Structure formats: structure tokens, C-alpha cells
Chains A and B, each alone.
Chain A
């Protein structure tokens, strides 16, 4: 073991976190510095964050540049948490910048890690997007399910490439514990994911004749599982490898829209594809084709490995994560309470003495 590595073990961990200008990165930085075994947190991003980072040291560095290797060497970080793999640009960036940060940034960071003997542990934020979404896929993906149709572009393809580089790194540095966390759609009061911005639309366009199954994971659980992966594994668990991370249960898109109180506009699939490419060409949004595929065919992952090997139990189920997200959203055009009230009023009209139809023969 090198000097830096031994020093880190004695003095406590030095954690380097990328992508801290995002809400999630900021929350993780603030949370992990409270852990007793963590001595120092180095927060890295290309732009200064708008939020507080607590006692962490912010280093303004672009992970696409070789400077990241110098940061890593100078700080002697032993744990690297790579959160800068995202689907949406921050601020005024475009898709090309995002892709470059995702892919080139990961390559640079992994190259730097390979050079640094101090690095013992690497945590990568990936996404269940790597499985794609196709009608010919099995209903539930496990970590080993090969994708029937590999994502053709966008964020999903980035994550596939990122994971490929991470596998290469793990081969070259077998002494580093590598943990790839494939997150389902992250939701929460402050989540800034493409799906969150989709659910913020006043009227949700959907694909006619399809009701995708969706899974969500709450931000709080994301921070917790990242923490779990950044520390030494607890007894009886193993925190290196690839894990799906998602809340229990499934919500259909139709359920989501009803719980959110936002009406849906079913569109024919060709029209959706065409309109999507038009909107993308005009640069109005970054709603990528794989988002359309997700909202057509849906995706559900198996989380047995997360529970049994990683030893993590999410606090929020899919439905609870969605409910928490919905609370943070404004009232929709058809709030569920109003709909329920309307049905109750009809019930009162139809059943003068009957009152609310609470009993029901679920035969």
C-alpha cells in the first residue's frame, strides 16, 4: 500500500465528489461530511454551485480536462464518487456538452483514478436507462439482463458507454472497489431530472394505447445508498459491483397522471416521434428519444441484489417517492381531491340516504 493510502486509512477518508453543482451532488456532499469516518470532502464541478456545500472544499475543475488528475493527486482522495453523469445540461449547456461531460469526463476521471495509488473506492452514478425499453424485453430487468435494443443515443447511450469504461477500469485496477449504482428515475422535491420536468407540464402528452410501468427512487434514498457505497461494506454485505436502485412497486403512467391531477393527451406513436424530433430540432427541449421509449414501453428493474448484497432498503416505495414529488408540485388541472369530491357529490345525488360509497364488494 502506498503512503497516501496508508495515511488515508489512519486519518480518515478523503472523498472526492464530482457534479456538486447539481442539487443531488450538493445534498450528498452536505450529508457525507457529517459521517465520522470522513475527514475531508473535495467537491468538484466546472461551475460553482448555487447552493451551500457546508465544510467541503470546492475545487472548480472541469472533469473533461486533465486538471482533474492533478486535483486527485494533490488531495490524495481515497474515495471517488462520480455523480456527474446526467441527462440534462446545467444552465445554458446543450446536449453536446452533456455528452462530453458524461463520456469524456468519465474517461478523464477514470484515467486520473488509475494513476492515483491512493484511490481505494469508486462509486459511479449510472441509470437503469442502460437496459433500454423495448416491447420484446422481459418485464423485469435484473443486473445481468442484456438489453434487447441497446439505447441508440442520448443519455442512455452515455450511461452504457460510461459503464463500459468503468468495467475497463475495474479490470485494470482490481484493488479498487468499484460500485456502479443504476438508479431508476430519481424523483423528489428538488429533483431536476427530465422525467420531473415532464411531470411538471400542465397537460401530459402520452402515447396512445400504451401505459408504461414506471419506477421511482426518492432523492433521500439516492443520497443514502451513495453513502452506503462510499464507505466500507457493513458486515455480511458487499458494496462493490453493479446494483439496481429503485423503490418498491410500480406506478403506471396513467396512475401518475391521476395522482398528480394532470390530464393526459394521448397522441399516436408516429405523431409523438415526429413532434419530438421537431421540438428537438428547434432546440426547445432536450427530450430525447429514449425518454419517449420509456414513456411508451416503461421499465421495471429487480432490486433483490440491492437488498440482499448491498444491504440497502429504500425508505420510500415508488408510490411514496411519487407522492412526495407530487406534494412539491403545484396543483394540476384535475386535482385528485376535486375529482374524488365530484364523485362523492354524484354519489350523494344518486344515493340520497346512502352517504359516501365507502363499502364495496371487491369480489
Chain B
């Protein structure tokens, strides 16, 4: 079943970067992989290399698009069969992936982050939600450094932590260096079966100072939502009002590692599940922090758990440097509170600005 999930991903990917069908795409890829220098050459040159005579008549169009195409892989299954070529290539890639997965021949890091599974399968499952359902618009991605550690601090909302996942896709797909966001998640995530397994494989880890510092030390991009359950489980009437930012531990963590803090504002997640009530008794029985009651959930059963298709905007703000402070500053509570407030204010202001610019919740 794993290969069945790979195929739509590649498909989506290619569709996103061009407008070609099967034969055109494979032609382009061959060109990019085989002849890096001769970019100006049209598809014909590339096709001759492979010894394939039957040139699709759309070759020149493919050639014109080639500079925009990132260099793909040099695959062997030529485009001879028209649409079959692309399919064959994808089947081959899928089988190779399947082979490695089934024999356990892949790597995970100390946190259990499975880069291959995330890129090939999990991201491709999230991407349709990101692109088609919530139509996420990303601003200010250039504020994320190309390398080195940084701490992205975002607001948290939406009853279910979809905003974190969408932020992860946004960073992964939009950042020019293709960076991976390592999210810090609540302990509840690691208690629940299946959820904890997926979270670890997606590169998430427990929101604690030890893990955050270790990741930042390794130069990773770490995402945190300091509002926690207070933010995600707040009633609909308090939407876009930032809650308390924990105890500001994220600031001292960033400061100890000397990495910049990047404030991030997410608009649209508040309205996916308008939480009009909280069944506290049920929550207590189930051992979860809140049990949401929305206009549709739980009245319509599983159907009520479908989020509303709101239009999202994710804005990454100007980085706040933390490396200019003396080493003992991380122990100074006043400074911590001030910096926490500064980050919080910046996110809140950006939220208001984005809300003013927003035409409608759904468009």
C-alpha cells in the first residue's frame, strides 16, 4: 500500500511545477537529469541521447519550460510509451521505495524522525489538505534562515493541531532550502497510540527544554506553539486572542542556543472547528484537556469532525535575534518576560493585520 501513496505525491509535485501531462514531464526530467549544461537544447536533443525516435510533438513546449524545472532524477524508463513512460517511472520509484521500506533499509534519527517516509508518504497525504482544502497562502518565508537553528513561534488554534501540520508543510514546500520543521508537541501526543508513532516519524518531539535545545544545537528549525492547550482549546468567541505564552521557556531555550526567534501568525485555523462548548465531564472521563462541541460535532458523528474549508494565511515575521545577550541573560526572568511579550505582541499585531486584509473566512 505504500507505493499507492507515493504515486499521487510525485504526480502532485510535477503538476505543481509545470502544466504537462505524462510524456512531456518525463521528457523534461530526462533533459534536466541527462544534460545539465545544455539547457537551451530542446527536448529533441535529450530524446536522441536516450535513442528514442518517437518524439512527442509537444517537445519544444517542454523545452521552453525546462529552465523552471528543478533537476529531477536521471531515470531509465524512457518516454517511449507515451503516458506509460511517466507511469513506469513512478512504478519503478514506488517499488524501489517499497523494497527499502519492507527490508527495513532506511534511517531514522535519535528522535525517530523518518525523513524518507515524511517526504514520500506523509507529506503527500498532507499536501492536498494544504493546497486544495485550506489553500494556504504563505508570506515571509524568506525570514527563515537557509541554515542553522531557529525557533519558529506560532499561535495555536483550531481544536485539533492541524495548524502545526500545515505550518510544517508550508516550511517544507515553500522554503527555498527545503528545510524541515521539527515541531514540539504536547505530551498527550506521545501518550496516544498511532498518533505518537506518526508524530515521531514526522519529526515531532516532546515540548521540553532538553529536546528543543538538542534540536537547535544540531542546527534544526524548531517550531513551537507556546499557547498549548489554552490556545487550541479556547472557545470560538475568543478567536485570534492570544493566550498566555506558557512560562516563556521557549525564549530562554532560544537564548541559550543563541538562535533567532521567528514569530509566525496563522490565520484561518480558528474557524475550522468553531468550538461553541466544552463537555468538561466527557473530557475528564477520556483524560483529555477538553472535549469540543461545535455546531456539527458530535451531533453529526464522524461527518461532524470534517473541518470547515477556511482559507488560511501563514505569515512568518521578522526574526528576533537572541545572540546579543550575555550568557547569564537566559536566567533573567524580567528579560524573559519582556522578550516573551515582544514575540507575543508581534504575533498578535500580525494577526490583526492579516484579519483586516482578509476578504472572507472561506475565500
Whether, in the assembled complex, B360 has its beta carbon less than 8 Å from a beta carbon of chain A, the answer is: no
Residues of B within 8 A of A143 (CB): none
By the criterion CB–CB under 8 Å, are A351 and B91 in contact?
Answer: yes
- Cα A142 to Cα B211 in complex, Å, equals 11
Whether, in the assembled complex, B93 has its beta carbon less than 8 Å from a beta carbon of chain A, the answer is: yes
Whether, in the assembled complex, A254 has its beta carbon less than 8 Å from a beta carbon of chain B, the answer is: yes
Residues of A within 8 A of B76 (CB): 354-355, 359
Whether, in the assembled complex, B318 has its beta carbon less than 8 Å from a beta carbon of chain A, the answer is: no
Whether, in the assembled complex, A199 has its beta carbon less than 8 Å from a beta carbon of chain B, the answer is: no
Of residues 1 through 18 on chain B, the ones whose CB sits less than 8 Å from some CB of chain A are: 10, 13
Whether, in the assembled complex, B194 has its beta carbon less than 8 Å from a beta carbon of chain A, the answer is: yes
By the criterion CB–CB under 8 Å, are B91 and A350 in contact?
Answer: yes
By the criterion CB–CB under 8 Å, are B200 and A138 in contact?
Answer: no
Contact of B72 among A256, A357, A361 (CB under 8 A): A361
Whether, in the assembled complex, B103 has its beta carbon less than 8 Å from a beta carbon of chain A, the answer is: yes
By the criterion CB–CB under 8 Å, are B13 and A213 in contact?
Answer: no
By the criterion CB–CB under 8 Å, are A339 and B102 in contact?
Answer: yes
Whether, in the assembled complex, B191 has its beta carbon less than 8 Å from a beta carbon of chain A, the answer is: yes
Of residues 93 through 147 on chain A, the ones whose CB sits less than 8 Å from some CB of chain B are: 135-140, 142, 145
- Cα A214 to Cα B191 in complex, Å, equals 18
Residues of A within 8 A of B210 (CB): 138-140, 142, 145
Q: Mark B317-359, 1 if CB is under 8 A from A, else 0.
A: 0000000000000000000000000000000000000000000
Contact of A139 among B72, B97, B111 (CB under 8 A): B111
Given contacts A137-B206, A250-B109, A350-B91, contact A363 B72 (CB under 8 A): yes
By the criterion CB–CB under 8 Å, are A351 and B99 in contact?
Answer: no
| Closest chain A residue to B73, Cβ basis | A361
State the Cβ distance, B120 to closest chain A Cβ, in Å.
Answer: 8
Q: Mark B81-119, 1 if CB is under 8 A from A, else 0.
A: 000000010011101111101111111111110101001
The residue among B88, B92, B116 with the most chain A CB atoms within 10 A of its own CB is B92
By the criterion CB–CB under 8 Å, are B95 and A346 in contact?
Answer: yes
Q: Mark B275-316, 1 if CB is under 8 A from A, else 0.
A: 000000000000000000000000000000000000000000
Whether, in the assembled complex, A278 has its beta carbon less than 8 Å from a beta carbon of chain B, the answer is: no
Whether, in the assembled complex, B24 has its beta carbon less than 8 Å from a beta carbon of chain A, the answer is: no
The residue among B193, B205, B214 with the most chain A CB atoms within 10 A of its own CB is B193
- Cα A358 to Cα B114 in complex, Å, equals 21
By the criterion CB–CB under 8 Å, are A209 and B103 in contact?
Answer: no
| Closest chain B residue to A341, Cβ basis | B99
Contact of B95 among A136, A297, A343 (CB under 8 A): A343
Whether, in the assembled complex, A336 has its beta carbon less than 8 Å from a beta carbon of chain B, the answer is: yes
Q: Mark A189-223, 1 if CB is under 8 A from B, else 0.
A: 00000000000000000011111010000000000
Given contacts A354-B88, A360-B93, contact A340 B103 (CB under 8 A): yes
By the criterion CB–CB under 8 Å, are B110 and A140 in contact?
Answer: yes
By the criterion CB–CB under 8 Å, are B119 and A340 in contact?
Answer: no
State the Cβ distance, B187 to closest chain A Cβ, in Å.
Answer: 5
Whether, in the assembled complex, A89 has its beta carbon less than 8 Å from a beta carbon of chain B, the answer is: no
By the criterion CB–CB under 8 Å, are A360 and B206 in contact?
Answer: no
Residues of B within 8 A of A355 (CB): 76
Q: Mark A242-274, 1 if CB is under 8 A from B, else 0.
A: 000000011110111111000000000100000
By the criterion CB–CB under 8 Å, are A135 and B116 in contact?
Answer: no
The contact size tier of chain A is: 35 or more
| Closest chain A residue to B10, Cβ basis | A361
By the criterion CB–CB under 8 Å, are A354 and B77 in contact?
Answer: yes
| Closest chain B residue to A212, Cβ basis | B112
By the criterion CB–CB under 8 Å, are B103 and A258 in contact?
Answer: yes
The residue among B76, B95, B192 with the most chain A CB atoms within 10 A of its own CB is B95
By the criterion CB–CB under 8 Å, are A357 and B99 in contact?
Answer: yes
- Cα A16 to Cα B301 in complex, Å, equals 68
By the criterion CB–CB under 8 Å, are B109 and A359 in contact?
Answer: no
| Closest chain B residue to A346, Cβ basis | B95
Residues of A within 8 A of B194 (CB): 208-209
- Cα A86 to Cα B91 in complex, Å, equals 50
By the criterion CB–CB under 8 Å, are B75 and A211 in contact?
Answer: no
| Closest chain B residue to A138, Cβ basis | B210
Whether, in the assembled complex, A1 has its beta carbon less than 8 Å from a beta carbon of chain B, the answer is: no
By the criterion CB–CB under 8 Å, are B112 and A250 in contact?
Answer: yes
Contact of A300 among B10, B74, B88, B110 (CB under 8 A): B110
By the criterion CB–CB under 8 Å, are B95 and A350 in contact?
Answer: yes
By the criterion CB–CB under 8 Å, are B98 and A343 in contact?
Answer: yes
State the Cβ distance, B8 to closest chain A Cβ, in Å.
Answer: 14
State the Cβ distance, A110 to closest chain B Cβ, in Å.
Answer: 32
Whether, in the assembled complex, B196 has its beta carbon less than 8 Å from a beta carbon of chain A, the answer is: yes
- Cα A158 to Cα B111 in complex, Å, equals 28
By the criterion CB–CB under 8 Å, are A250 and B102 in contact?
Answer: no
By the criterion CB–CB under 8 Å, are B96 and A136 in contact?
Answer: no
Whether, in the assembled complex, A39 has its beta carbon less than 8 Å from a beta carbon of chain B, the answer is: no
Given contacts A138-B210, A139-B205, A211-B197, contact A343 B99 (CB under 8 A): yes
- Cα A354 to Cα B112 in complex, Å, equals 34
State the Cβ distance, B85 to closest chain A Cβ, in Å.
Answer: 10
By the criterion CB–CB under 8 Å, are A351 and B103 in contact?
Answer: no
Residues of B within 8 A of A361 (CB): 10, 72-73, 75, 93
By the criterion CB–CB under 8 Å, are B196 and A347 in contact?
Answer: no
State the Cβ distance, A135 to closest chain B Cβ, in Å.
Answer: 4
- Cα A251 to Cα B214 in complex, Å, equals 19
By the criterion CB–CB under 8 Å, are B196 and A259 in contact?
Answer: no
- Cα A340 to Cα B200 in complex, Å, equals 26
Residues of A within 8 A of B99 (CB): 339-340, 343-344, 347, 357
Q: Mark B192-204, 1 if CB is under 8 A from A, else 0.
A: 1111110011000
- Cα A257 to Cα B105 in complex, Å, equals 11
Of residues 194 through 231 on chain B, the ones whose CB sits less than 8 Å from some CB of chain A are: 194-197, 200-201, 205-206, 208, 210-211, 214
Whether, in the assembled complex, B236 has its beta carbon less than 8 Å from a beta carbon of chain A, the answer is: no
- Cα A358 to Cα B76 in complex, Å, equals 10
Residues of A within 8 A of B97 (CB): 360
Of residues 167 through 205 on chain B, the ones whose CB sits less than 8 Å from some CB of chain A are: 187, 190-197, 200-201, 205
By the criterion CB–CB under 8 Å, are A357 and B193 in contact?
Answer: no
The 4 closest A-B pairs by CB, nearest first: A209-B193, A258-B104, A361-B73, A357-B92
Question: Can you list 20 A-B pairs, Cβ within 8 angstroms, ordered by A?
Answer: A136-B190, A139-B111, A211-B200, A213-B112, A249-B107, A249-B110, A250-B109, A250-B110, A252-B114, A343-B95, A350-B88, A353-B77, A354-B76, A354-B77, A355-B76, A357-B92, A357-B99, A359-B96, A361-B10, A362-B116
